[in-house]
C-alpha cells in the first residue's frame, strides 16, 4: 500500500472539516491502549467512487462487532464522504477512511463513548505492475480467537509482521494460511488463482474478511462467463497456478507476477478481471 499524502488530507471531526494530520485521540482513550478501534477504506478516483455505500455499511458492522456504538449511520458517512470528495480537485485519487474508536471503558470498551472521524487523503491508484509473493510463517487467527469479521485496527499488527518478514526476503507480500493449513489471504488483500480457465479464491471461513472488491469480482467474472469457484485451496495449488492476482480496496486488482522463485505472466483472465472492475467502477459516480 502506497502512502497517503497527509499534508493535503481532509478530516471530518465533531462537525468540522480539518486539514493535515490533527491530534484527536487521547493518550488515555480506550482505543489507544486496549485497541478498541475499527476502520474501513473506500476509494474515489477519476470522478468515481465504487461501492462507497457498501464500505460505509461495513464500517458500521465492524464497529458493532467490536462492541462499539456508532454515533452516525452508514448513510451519514456516505453523505460526508461525498462532501469530502468535493473538497478536492475533480478526479483526484483518494483514500477514504471512516474510523470509530472508544474513549472510555475498562477491558470492555464503553459503547456509549464511541467517537467517529472521517478522513480523505490523496493516494494514487497503483498501476498493475504486479507483486511477488511468498509463504508467510504466520497464520491467520480464527473467529474464535480474534475479531476477524471486523476491520479491527488490532488485526493489522499481525499483517504488519507478516509483510515485514516477506520484505526481508525480497518479496512484496505474503500468502497467509489459516490454522488448518489452507490458504486464507495475503497480508491485507484477498487472493485469487487461475487454473485451466477457472478463477479460484478461498471460501470465507472466518479467518479473513470477505472483501467488498472480492465479492464484486465474483459477480462480475460470473456474469462474464468465467467460472468462479470458492473453496479451500492448498498452497501447492498457488505454486502451480496459471495466473494469480490480489483484490482489495486500495489497488482493486493487482496481478501476482511471481510466487516464490517462479515468475507468472499478467495473464488474460487477470487482465479481464481488472477490465471488468473498471467498467463497473464507471457506473459508480462520486
Question: What DSSP line would sit under 17-33, residue for residue?
Answer: EEES----S-TTSHHHH
Name the class of domain 131-281. Answer: alpha beta
The packing angle between helices 52-65 and 74-85, to 10°, is 130
Whole-angstrom distance, CA of residue 144 vs CA of residue 154: 15
| Average pLDDT rounded to a whole number, residues 83-89 | 98
- What pLDDT does 164 receive? 98
Question: End-to-end CA distance of the chain, in Å?
Answer: 22
Contact 67, 36 (CB under 8 A): yes
Question: What DSSP line would sit under 68-124, residue for residue?
Answer: ---SS-HHHHHHHHHHHHTTS-TT--EEEEEEEEES-BSSSB-GGGEEEEEEEEE-P
Contact 176, 187 (CB under 8 A): yes
Q: How do the domains of the chain map onto residue ranges?
A: 5-122, 131-281
174: enclosing H helix or E strand:
strand 173-177
CATH topology of 5-122 equal to that of 131-281?
no
Residue 76 predicted with pLDDT over 90: yes
Q: Is 170 helix (H, G, I), strand (E, B) or coil?
A: coil
This prediction has a pTM of 0.97
- Radius of gyration for the alpha carbons in the chain, expressed in angstroms and rounded: 19
- What pLDDT does 2 receive? 56
Contact 199, 38 (CB under 8 A): no
pLDDT digits (tens, 9 = 90+) for 245-283: 999 999 999 999 999 999 999 999 999 999 999 999 999
Fold observed for domain 5-122 = D-amino Acid Aminotransferase; Chain A, domain 1 (3.30.470)
Q: Would you tell me how many other CB atoms lie within 10 Å of the CB of residue 138?
A: 17
Whole-angstrom distance, CA of residue 141 vs CA of residue 39: 19
Whole-angstrom distance, CA of residue 124 vs CA of residue 46: 10
Q: What is the mean pLDDT of the chain?
A: 97
Amino acid at each position: 500500500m502506497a502512502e497517503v499524502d497527509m499534508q493535503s488530507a481532509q478530516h471530518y471531526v465533531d462537525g468540522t472539516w480539518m486539514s493535515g494530520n490533527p491530534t484527536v485521540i487521547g493518550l488515555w482513550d480506550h482505543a489507544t491502549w486496549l485497541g478498541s478501534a475499527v476502520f474501513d477504506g473506500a476509494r474515489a478516483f477519476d470522478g468515481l467512487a465504487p461501492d462507497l455505500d457498501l464500505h460505509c455499511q461495513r464500517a458500521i458492522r465492524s464497529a458493532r462487532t467490536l462492541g462499539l456504538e456508532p454515533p452516525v449511520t452508514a448513510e451519514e458517512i456516505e453523505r460526508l464522504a461525498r462532501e469530502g470528495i468535493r473538497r478536492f480537485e475533480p478526479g483526484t485519487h483518494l483514500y477514504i477512511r471512516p474510523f470509530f474508536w472508544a474513549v472510555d471503558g475498562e477491558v470492555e470498551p464503553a459503547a456509549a463513548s464511541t467517537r467517529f472521524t472521517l478522513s480523505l487523503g490523496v493516494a494514487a491508484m497503483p498501476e498493475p505492475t504486479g507483486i511477488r509473493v511468498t509463504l508467510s510463517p504466520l497464520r491467520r487467527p480464527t473467529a474464535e480467537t480474534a475479531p476477524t469479521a471486523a476491520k479491527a485496527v488490532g488485526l493489522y499488527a499481525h499483517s504488519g509482521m507478516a509483510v515485514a518478514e516477506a520484505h526481508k526476503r525480497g518479496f512484496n507480500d505474503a500468502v497467509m494460511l489459516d490454522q488448518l493449513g489452507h490458504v486464507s489471504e495475503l497480508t491485507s488483500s484477498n487472493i485469487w488463482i487461475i487454473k485451466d480457465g477457472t478463477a479460484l479464491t478461498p471460501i470465507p471461513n472466518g479467518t479473513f474478511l470477505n472483501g467488498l472488491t472480492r465479492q464484486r469480482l465474483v459477480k462480475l467474472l460470473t456474469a462474464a462467463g468465467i467460472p468462479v469457484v470458492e473453496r479451500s485451496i492448498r498452497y501447492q495449488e498457488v505454486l502451480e497456478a496459471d495466473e494469480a492476482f490480489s483484490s482489495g480496496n486500495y489497488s482493486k486488482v493487482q496481478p501476482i507476477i511471481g510466487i516464490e522463485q517462479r515468475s507468472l505472466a499478467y495473464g488474460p483472465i487477470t487482465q479481464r478481471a481488472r477490465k471488468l472492475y473498471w467498467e463497473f467502477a464507471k457506473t459508480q459516480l462520486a
